[in-house]
Amino acid sequence: MSNKPRDRLRVATQKSGRLTDAGRDLLTRSGLSFRESRDRLFCYGESLPIDLLLVRDDDIPGLIAEGTCDLGFVGRNVLEEQRLERTRRGEAAPFRELRALGFGRCRLSIAVPQDMAWAGPQSLAGLRIATSYPQLLGDWLDRHGIAAQVVMLSGSVEIAPRLGTAEAICDLVSSGATLAANQLREVATVLDSEAVLIGPAQPFADERGDHADLLLRRLDGTLQVRDSKLLMLHVDRTALDAVIRLLPGIDTTPIVTALDGRSDAVALQAVCQGAITWQHLEDMKRAGARSMLVLPVEQMLA
C-alpha cells in the first residue's frame, strides 16, 4: 500500500453501471458535491476534501489494496470474490467492508434447467457449472463437499446450459427475470449481496482518517433517515402507553407534549424506522390515537 500522505480522500465508484446512480445519489444526499472533469474519470469534491475516481467496479478492491483510492463503493459479490482470491494465494485481505449501503441488492445463486431434477447440492456432483465468480462458487462447493467442474465465463452466463458448455450456472439474480427467460430455476443461494462501502484493513495515518470519519457519519445519517418517518399524533392520556407500544420501529424515546387547554390528551411525536402501513395507523387509532401525520425525515445527526 502506498504510504504517501494525502490531505484529500479519494473514493472509487463505478463509472457506468448498476451502482452508479444510487451511489452518486447517496453522496449527494450526504451533502457532497463535485466538479466533474472533462473525461468524467475524476470528480473534484467541492463541498468537502473528498474526490471521486470513476472506474470499473472489478478494479475497486485492487485500487484500495494498492492505496490509489482510500474508500470505494462496490458489490459485496465483487469484494468477497476478490477476498477469496487473495486468501487462496495466502494473502490477508488488505480491504474490508465498512458499511452495507442498501442498494444494488441481489444474490449470487445456483440455477439449473427448469426440467432438471434437484435433490439438494449433491445434484451438482460431476456437473459443469458456468460462473463469473469461480472463487465464491468453489468455496460453496467445498463447504458442501461437492466435486464439480467450474467453468469460468465473464458474461452471458445464463446462456451456457443452452449452448451445452455447462449443465448449471452460478450468477447474480435480482428479479429472476433473466433466469426465467433462459428456462432456468434458482435452487440455492451462494451469497446475499448489496453495495457496500469498503476501505483499507489498516486505519489512515494522516488527515484522510478525519475525512473518512466525517464521510461515515454523514452516510450513517443519510442511510438512517432513508427508511425513517416522523409520526405525529394526538392521544388520550389513558391510552398513551397502549399507543406507544404500537409505534412501529422506534429507536428513541417518543416525545410527549401537553396540548394547550387540554388535560385529557397529549401530543406524541416519534421517529419510526421502516414502513408505516395503513394497518399500523388503524391499529393505533383503535387504541386511542387521533390526528395522525406521517412525515418524511430529511436529515438526522446522532
Interface positions with ligand ATP (CB under 6 A)? 14, 17-19, 56-58, 75, 77-78, 104-106, 172, 174, 193
In the region spanning residues 126 to 165, those forming contacts with ligand PRP, defined by CB under 6 A, are 155, 158
Binding mask 16-55 toward ligand PRP (x if CB under 6 A, else -) reads --x-------------------------------------
State the Cα–Cα distance between residues 25 and 242, nearest whole angstrom. Answer: 39
Minimum CB separation of residue 59 from ligand ATP in Å reads: 8
- 50 in helix, strand or coil? strand
- C-alpha closest to that of 150 among 61, 88, 76: 88
Instruction: Name the DSSP letter for residue 253.
Output: P
In the region spanning residues 160 to 179, those forming contacts with ligand PRP, defined by CB under 6 A, are 171-178
Minimum CB separation of residue 155 from ligand ATP in Å reads: 8
Strand-by-strand arrangement of the 71-75 sheet:
34-36, 42-45, 50-55, 9-14, 71-75, 195-200, 95-100
Q: Which does 139 bind (CB under 5 to 8 A by kind): ligand ATP, Mg ion, ligand PRP, none?
A: none
In the region spanning residues 51 to 70, those forming contacts with Mg ion, defined by CB under 5 A, are 57-58
Q: Return the number of the residue (18 or 99) whose C-beta is nearest ligand ATP.
A: 18
State the Cα–Cα distance between residues 72 and 281, nearest whole angstrom. Answer: 40
Contacting range for Mg ion; rule: CB under 5 A; set: 26-34, 49-57, 208-216, 259-267 = 49-57
State the Cα–Cα distance between residues 168 and 210, nearest whole angstrom. Answer: 47
With contacts defined by CB under 6 A, how many residues of the chain interact with ligand PRP?
A: 11
The sign of the CA dihedral 147, 148, 151, 155 is: negative
**Closest-approach residue to ligand ATP (CB):** 75
Q: Return the number of the residue (57 or 158) whose C-beta is nearest Mg ion.
A: 57
Kindly report the length of the chain. 302
- E-strand ranges in 174-215 read 184-193, 195-200
List residues near ligand PRP by CB under 6 A.
18, 155, 158, 171-178
